[in-house]
Structure 1
Amino acid sequence: MTDTRKTRFKVDGMDCASCAGKIDTAVRRMPGVEDVSVSVTAGTMTVTHAASGDLAAIGAKLSGLGYAATPLASARGGCAHDHHAHAHDDGPSHRQEDTGTRTPAAASPMGLHGDHHGAGGEGAWWRSRKGRLTLFSGVALLLAYALGHLVPAIAPFAFVAALLVGLIPIARRAVMAALAGTPFSIEMLMTVAAIGAVVIDAGEEAAAVVFLFLVGELLEGVAAGRARQSIQALAALVPKTARLEENGVTREVPAEDLAVGALILVRPGDRIPADGTIMDGESAIDEAPVTGESTPVLKGVGAAVFAGTVNGDGALRVRVSAAAADNTIARVIRLVEEAQESKAPTERFIDRFSTYYTPGVVAVAALVAILPPLLAGASWSEWVYKGLAILLIGCPCALVISTPAAIAASLSAGARRGLLLKGGAVLERLGALTAVAFDKTGTLTDGKPQVTDIIAFDRSEVEVLRYAAAVDQGSSHPLALAVLARAAAEGVKIPPASAARALGGKGVIATVDGEAVFFGSPKAAGERVPLSDDRLAAIARLNDDGKTVSVLLVGDVPAGAIAMRDEPRADAGAGLDALRAGGIRTVMLTGDNRRTAAAIGAALRIEVRAELMPEDKQRIVSELRRDGLVVGKVGDGINDAPALAAADVGIAMGGGTDVALETADAAILHGRVGDVARMIDLSKRTMRNIRQNIALALGLKAVFLVTTVLGVTGLWPAILADTGATVLVTLNALRLLRLPATRP
């Protein structure tokens, strides 16, 4: 088996789909290259190549086309190996392959060509190569106009000279693209049109058209740069330094050097420099930069925190749980960049269409230029001029960028709201969902029991909670933690307990305030002290509601009971209502017992399938699909992985296992049920935007095609029909970056 490797490149100067097409075609034809995946909006290219492949040759090839390529090294050192890695565009992969890069901060670029010349690259636009070329061309055009006014006899030569300032670099790129396999590039169309205009004595107009073309390219670069910055800005959220605690001493270190397990101090008002778990302290954490959560979340010992979020008013000691290359923000950036390199079905169709469209336009332009003079004796100059204008109108840039620009903006906007989508194909399919199946525990519910009822038999409710919390001190059992959390929330002062011991499967016993206290199952309590029929009936009613009941005995007297249940998430009801309002069927798939599942299902008004094994969940998802439904599956555990893979779209909830995140097509970082509806809405907004972009691109071309043939418009409007449409389509797509703020 051939040893293959994947290398990701940062490509500067790639600002439109036409650029991506030329790069893809050129690199794909090189020896040793097996596959190429290019993302305009991320400004990256991933190449699958033989281990012996020549990266310098790839850089030189792109340099000849007018781009600068920089391979990005893995944070682990070197590019990642993938022994049978082939990037496919035919559909979403359920498993994301390591592309050899982590985050912009973690990468160690090995520059082949260090010139950042794309308008969308680093630095001000006028310092870029495209910016300088546009300025020089504009100055040359102004000088030509001035000289032509002062010395009319040399005006034609002055405009040809001004034309050559901008055209020579364009023509060079056209020739290189043709040699690399792209003969019908926009640069070639521009070169043919400009030279043809000079031949028919329209040099002044040709010079102006070349300048407008360069302006259009520059605007495309600025718009593309804005799209890139929307996601790359996330990397800037992580502070550069952290306060590391070692042996009682705190010192400042680079955040990227923090190792897993390190203890860091986060002062009030500081950004948290790494993912981790709070070991000491309590504070309100502003998670809006990472998850879109609109209000700060109060977190204490044991709670997880994300890199880039802002600590509130309390000092925290945090144990680092992920290295800089693998923290939440790094994973978000990596997932979005990988997703932007995978093409949606609509985008693949447009790409195939454009391969026939551009040669077709060239043929139409040739017929318009030749047939009227040959068949009807019309003016050669007039109809060649019209043919040249049609060449410019026919450039497919606006059409080709219409889909990837919208998808990239949506992927970036979703990521900034905690909605991660693994590619354009996933984004398209989300809007087509007609059914969504949810796991229960940790998805529709919080995943941990909460105290729901405190029943007083012989003592007050406060006393019942006080004694129960006393015997549960020091226990890590989920039910004990629920009691302690309720006591803390109500400010109950917990007395000390002595001689505490667990009774396997029954409960716990201890001495509190000099009295023997038992807290455990109703059955075990009944074996110690008989319970009245009224009390047994109350316990049965709570059990029927899917609640777990523990009885408190103080001495030989039943003092009370506490009921607990894994309660629905705060937004679960509203989130499911939003889906049903959109005509989407909802169903709960859970391995929990029928009684508990039915109680939760009734509260949330959702169809319930209970007592399921992982294979049962997968089978039900497959059955729903066979019934003609487009099914989404939402879950957070290992047992959800088979069903996530079987669904049309698998969605992992935040805080879920790595297996669920790996298997799923999408992920909800903050774990809000309502975010499922937001994902679907984002998909529908994106598809509307794509349809608008396609209509805008084709509509403008159709209008100018007709007006050009009728002689109403000429070369100037023709180039505006191309570059202007491209800029308008890109700006329309960028509207998707402004998603409505997420509400808790």
Structure 2
Amino acid sequence: MDESVKRNIYRVEGFTCTGCAATFEKNVKQLPHVQDAQVNFGAAKLTVVGEASIAELEKAGAFEGLKIYPESERSAGRKEPFWHRKATIRTAISALLLLTGWLLGAQYGDENSLSVFSYGLSILIGGYTLFLKGVRNLVRLQFDMNTLMTVAILGAAAIGEWGEGAMVVFLFAISEALESYSMDKARESIRSLVEIAPNEALIRRNDQEIQVPVDEVRVGEIMIVKPGQKIAMDGKVITGASSVNQAAITGESVPVTKDVDDEVYAGTLNQEGLLEVSVTKRFEDTTLAKIIHLVEEAQAERAPSQAFVDRFASVYTPLIMLTALAIAVLPPLFAGANWAEWIYRGLAVLVVGCPCALVISTPVAVVTAIGTAARNGVLIKGGIHLEEAGRLSAIAFDKTGTLTKGVPTLTDIKPVGSLPRDECLIIAAAIERGSQHPLASAIIRQANHLGKPIPAAESFVSLTGKGAKAVVNSTLYHIGSPRLFEEILPGGMDQSNRQEIATLQEQGKTVMLLGTKEEIIALFAVADEIRETSKQALQKLHQLGIGQTVMLTGDHQATAAAIAQQLDISDVDAGLLPQDKREAIKRLINKHGHVAMVGDGINDAPALATATVSFAMGGAGSDTALETADIALMSDDLSKLPFTIALSRRALAIIKQNITFSLAIKAVALLLIFPGWLTLWMAIFADMGATLLVTLNALRLLRITN
């Protein structure tokens, strides 16, 4: 695609069904200067590649009365009350005319002209947009629910069943309204996210504090956030301290203390102190904006069950039309049956065969579940990942930063040679200043507390998965795991060092050695504190029936085993390099089928990519975590993991219930056709009832909280 071609995104109001969204997309693609278009029904958004005015787009959606406005524009002022909508008014008039026709029929008989006239007006007014879509689709040989309803209603009128035709129109209109309402309700979770952040920010410019629209705020400007105000932009605190409620982003109910150099996010609430914040991201790049974008994209991605329903409906709808035609024509032709009676039964097949409930059964559940997860600080990036999370039988965890806090503390320094303790620490810190390993920070922090100068290290080389080496004070030193020194020492380590290392590791500590190619100089033991939520989260996972929990770590077996025992993790795979973790995930998939990997979204990328579904910890503020994982837990709270799995399982169960119920009610109604017990209004009532029930069933997902 030519990158110079404009790509515009719009929000759409007025969608009533997936079929209408598909028709609108097709109409937009046919506009003169549009190269491509894509409709996201779940998020009610339109992406246009090329040029098209709002007027042209609304004309393309005129069949549905769609309203289009730019993505950046807030929708609150554009929302049309339910009772002011044209479709609602037409349905109300149709209902009054239907009631009038029934009263006239009861007074003067069903065949009187006034009653028929009233029923006819009810059909025309209530079914106006339905007929436009149905006739157009019939001409194009496109068979959807509008085509089925149009043929059924016109057929009812043709055989003199005016009252039943009017009843079908009225009930179908109510069914459409319910479908529209359910999708609006499901979208509210995301709409509420859009409205979280303020439209303006208080910015200091030229020694003056002025209110500036958020899309005009520049990176580096100073934002003033007063107590009780929402933070408008992502940034870093430069002055002040306060507690900030981050529930909108991370789902954490407890406010987080923010001090100088701490990050704050758009849409969060400053509670008590005055903060001065240096803006670090443009409004469209904020964490909140990315969450909204990714969730809306996720709603457009079809879940496997939805793809099945769509394929099924594409075969099912024309099959229903052929069945209806056979029922209406074959008995009169070959068995001398009454034409009017069997045409009526054929029309009832058309009505009861309408796939409304089946078509909406999956998308409303997926959209609702993804929105509910987002409100609780979990970002699920597609229906497929939602379903996969509900099927998990084993979960693998990275240790550092996932099960533990990832902020290691130096607990032991044990000199082995003649060098004093402080000098060993300074040499180790000199080497580790060039390292990105989490354990390096513990050594550097402790060395800084000595208040002595740390010499510069030369010729630094990182030894992946093992440690590092560098020249300090003209001597080449190595620092790293016991495995590294088993390799570089001519005769390996002596027994006393091995025993000391084993003792420290049994205490759950990670051991690093400092030395040269000839000898070990010192042992350093580092402990990483286990997160408060880890043990509780693991217990909940076991209660959910996750039988296999595995820790994958580069740490030593004894250290990993000590932590695993505290957390009741069923298996440990230690001493792993990144590629080893990937192979471990492959083995787990071969054994258990559906396997998740939980990591920090930055390291362990090969393992995250290999797993059936990947979870990243602490997605808030981390672009890498948001991009890497299938599901991002926005806070560093592992309790979000069992919540996500429970939500996914509930969503899967509801999808299966909806599909089963939709097909079962069709099957029962079709069986009632043959003895002649099913009337047209009963058929549409059964379809409407099914639509209502699958919708309400899916909306139960809105009530789930962590």
Give the alignment partner of residue 390 of structure 1, picking from 341, 346, 349: 349
Instruction: Report how many residues are paired.
Output: 631
- Segments of 5+ residues of structure 1 without an aligned counterpart are 73-103, 110-115, 456-474, 486-496, 506-522, 524-536, 551-561
* SS at 1:252 equivalent: strand
Distance 1:27 1:243, change over 3 A: closer
1:579 corresponds to: 541
CA distance in 1, matches of 2:628, 2:450: 48
Distance 1:334 1:353, change over 3 A: same
* SS at 2:198 equivalent: coil
2:136 corresponds to: 176
Q: Does 1:352 align with 2:353?
A: no
Give the alignment partner of residue 227 of structure 1, picking from 159, 183, 186: 186
2:529 corresponds to: 567
Give the AA of the match of 1:568: I
Give the alignment partner of residue 554 of structure 2, picking from 582, 591, 612: 591
Give the AA of the match of 1:612: L
* SS at 2:536 equivalent: helix
Q: Percent identity?
A: 41
* SS at 1:217 equivalent: helix
Cα drift, residue 216 of structure 1: 1.7
1:728 corresponds to: 693
Cα drift, residue 253 of structure 1: 2.4
Cα drift, residue 448 of structure 1: 1.3
Asked whether the 8 Å contact 2:533–2:638 carries over to 1, the reply is yes
Distance 1:645 1:138, change over 3 A: same
Asked whether the 8 Å contact 1:601–1:608 carries over to 2, the reply is yes
Cα drift, residue 422 of structure 1: 1.3
Residues 602-641 of structure 1 mapped to structure 2, 5 A cutoff: 602-606=565-569, 607-641=571-605
2:507 corresponds to: 545
Normalised TM-score (structure 1): 0.76
Asked whether the 8 Å contact 1:37–1:341 carries over to 2, the reply is no
* SS at 2:542 equivalent: helix
Cα drift, residue 254 of structure 1: 2.5
Q: Deviations over 1:138-187 (max 9, x none)?
A: 233345456667875432223212221123322112233445x5621222
* SS at 1:317 equivalent: strand
* SS at 2:219 equivalent: coil
Residues 176-195 of structure 1 mapped to structure 2, 5 A cutoff: 176-178=136-138, 183-195=142-154
Distance 1:257 1:56, change over 3 A: closer
CA distance in 2, matches of 1:667, 1:35: 31
Give the alignment partner of residue 64 of structure 2, picking from 63, 66, 88: 66
Cα drift, residue 406 of structure 1: 0.8
Residues 467-486 of structure 1 mapped to structure 2, 5 A cutoff: 478-479=441-442
CA distance in 2, matches of 1:323, 1:214: 44
Q: Deviations over 1:686-710 (max 9, x none)?
A: 1100111112212222222223432
Asked whether the 8 Å contact 1:22–1:177 carries over to 2, the reply is no
Residues 56-455 of structure 1 mapped to structure 2, 5 A cutoff: 59=57, 62-63=60-61, 65-68=63-66, 70=68, 72=70, 104=71, 106=72, 122-145=79-102, 152-178=112-138, 183-246=142-205, 249-450=208-409
CA distance in 2, matches of 1:722, 1:68: 25
Cα drift, residue 410 of structure 1: 0.6
Asked whether the 8 Å contact 1:638–1:657 carries over to 2, the reply is no
Asked whether the 8 Å contact 2:234–2:266 carries over to 1, the reply is yes
Using the TM superposition, name which of 252-261 and 206-215 deviates more.
252-261
Distance 1:664 1:549, change over 3 A: closer
Give the AA of the match of 2:687: D
CA distance in 1, matches of 2:302, 2:178: 24
Q: Does 1:697 align with 2:698?
A: no
Cα drift, residue 240 of structure 1: 2.3
CA distance in 2, matches of 1:243, 1:5: 33
Cα drift, residue 420 of structure 1: 1.0
Give the AA of the match of 2:277: V
2:42 corresponds to: 41
Asked whether the 8 Å contact 1:365–1:387 carries over to 2, the reply is yes
RMSD value, Cα: 3.9
Q: Deviations over 1:428-465 (max 9, x none)?
A: 1112222222222222221212587999xxxxxxxxxx
Give the AA of the match of 2:126: G
Cα drift, residue 29 of structure 1: 7.8
CA distance in 2, matches of 1:319, 1:293: 24
Distance 1:58 1:240, change over 3 A: closer
Q: Deviations over 1:324-377 (max 9, x none)?
A: 212222212111110111111111111111111111111111122222223333
Distance 1:711 1:695, change over 3 A: same
CA distance in 2, matches of 1:395, 1:243: 54
CA distance in 1, matches of 2:642, 2:450: 51
Asked whether the 8 Å contact 2:327–2:342 carries over to 1, the reply is yes
CA distance in 1, matches of 2:58, 2:204: 47
CA distance in 2, matches of 1:422, 1:372: 52
Asked whether the 8 Å contact 2:599–2:608 carries over to 1, the reply is yes
Asked whether the 8 Å contact 1:25–1:182 carries over to 2, the reply is no
CA distance in 2, matches of 1:282, 1:391: 66
CA distance in 1, matches of 2:511, 2:407: 15
2:679 corresponds to: 714
- Segments of 5+ residues of structure 2 without an aligned counterpart are 415-432, 435-439, 458-478, 480-498, 513-523
* SS at 1:176 equivalent: helix
Distance 1:452 1:417, change over 3 A: farther
